[in-house]
A = this chain, B = another copy of it.
């Protein structure tokens, strides 16, 4: 019922004032999910942001770098290295944007399409695991709605 007055092992720390806080729990959950994501994508050597970029390019071929970066909240200066990395791996291409010679239009390569097929399969399994942990699709949707109110 109550804690023993004298603990024989290490006395527990009082953590409620720090841990019963929305921001703290959000951070811990996000770190945990990203760690599992990185483990799942270790063989593909793909970061969460890189996965998002590939999917966005696949679903919106020919868009400019800045457009893709903006959606993900990545500064265009920091987006350069990310795009260069994916291009060096042969997954995407920078092409001349029609009508604006300053801009790069982004496209998946054939290798990028194949690679993304694998990545999407892994992500689908990963998302299914998240949904299972949450206790079903309804609870996943409830979580997303709650998270949106915090943005």
A: which residues have CB within 8 A of B? 13-15, 17-18, 20-34, 37, 48, 51-52, 55-56, 58-60, 63, 67, 71-73, 123, 126-127, 130-131, 133-135, 139-140, 142-144, 146-151
Contact with A30, one of B15, B26, B67, B148 (Cβ below 8 angstroms): B26
Contact with A52, one of B18, B52, B60, B123 (Cβ below 8 angstroms): B18
**Chain B neighbourhood of A18, CB < 8 A:** 51-52, 55-56, 71-72
CA separation between A140 and B26, bound complex, in Å?
11
Residue among A20, A22, A28 having the largest count of chain B Cβ atoms under 10 Å: A22
Q: Is the CB of A26 within 8 A of B26?
A: yes
**Chain B neighbourhood of A25, CB < 8 A:** 143-144, 147-148
**Chain B neighbourhood of A73, CB < 8 A:** 28, 31
| Sampled A-B contacts (10; CB under 8 Å) | A21-B123, A22-B130, A24-B48, A25-B144, A25-B147, A27-B34, A29-B147, A29-B150, A32-B151, A143-B146
- State how many angstroms separate the Cβ of A18 from the closest Cβ of chain B: 4
CA separation between A72 and B139, bound complex, in Å?
27
Residue among A15, A29, A55 having the largest count of chain B Cβ atoms under 10 Å: A29
- State how many angstroms separate the Cβ of A48 from the closest Cβ of chain B: 6
**Chain B neighbourhood of A71, CB < 8 A:** 13, 15, 18
- State how many angstroms separate the Cβ of A104 from the closest Cβ of chain B: 16
